[in-house]
Structure 1
Amino acid sequence: MEYVTAVPHPRTEAAAPARSGRRSLAVALLCGALGAAVALLASRQRWAEGTATVAGGAFPLTVKGSDVTGVPAALAIVGLAALVAVFAVRRSGRLLVSALLALSGAGTIAAAVSGASDSGSLDSKAAQVSG
């Protein structure tokens, strides 16, 4: 006959790596979601401003990030889809999805940096205003 005790049985060391793996996955998913949200919000903000001189005087102009380039917002949506795909795949699939997520993040940063110094959208908006 077995006896009952209030002392818990000793845990095996295999439970610690599984918990650590889930924690790192949760942190990675949270960081990916925050990065995609920041990219989407930044594409809706004002990126450039200027003035156009027309017959009535100076006319203030502003362009949003989505007017400058649509690439960061599109890649942020790809990143969100990759975050959802992490739950659908296992092992080597997760590696492939994480590579896609890293590439979309790098592409978002590259497009935002190159679009920040681009004045073409501001010039085209000035051309529309001046006729």
Structure 2
Amino acid sequence: MKNLSIFERALIDAGGGGIAGAFTYVCLLPLDTIKTKMQTKGACKIHANTFDAIVKSFQTSGILGFYKGVSTVIVGSVVYFGTCEFGKSFLSKLDYHALIIPPTADAMGNIVSSAILLH
């Protein structure tokens, strides 16, 4: 890993972040989808309970209906982690203080991924 360029490290972390984000959201997005449906104004008129919301969602959209928007989350994850790693590598070359590098790289990742996803 020591012989890798800043760009190569960023690509490796972007790939790892994309995989981690994909796995997390494949597991959690269906729960978030149902939670959002239950919190929507007037949900009590549409869904009797959580189980009813799950059944109706499955009947109307199938299993893929629970995963709408997952591609955006994966792209955001890849961009965020790639930018963070690039930032850490770049800032360490500029001789920044070790305590400042992680939060600064994190901020860079948040700014870049938000700018791309909110365009």
Q: Is the shorter-chain TM-score for this pair beyond 0.5, marking a shared fold?
A: no
* Greater fraction of residues in strand: 1
Larger CA Rg, structure 1 vs 2:
1
Higher relative contact order (CA 8 A, sep 6+): 2
TM-score, scaled relative to structure 2: 0.33
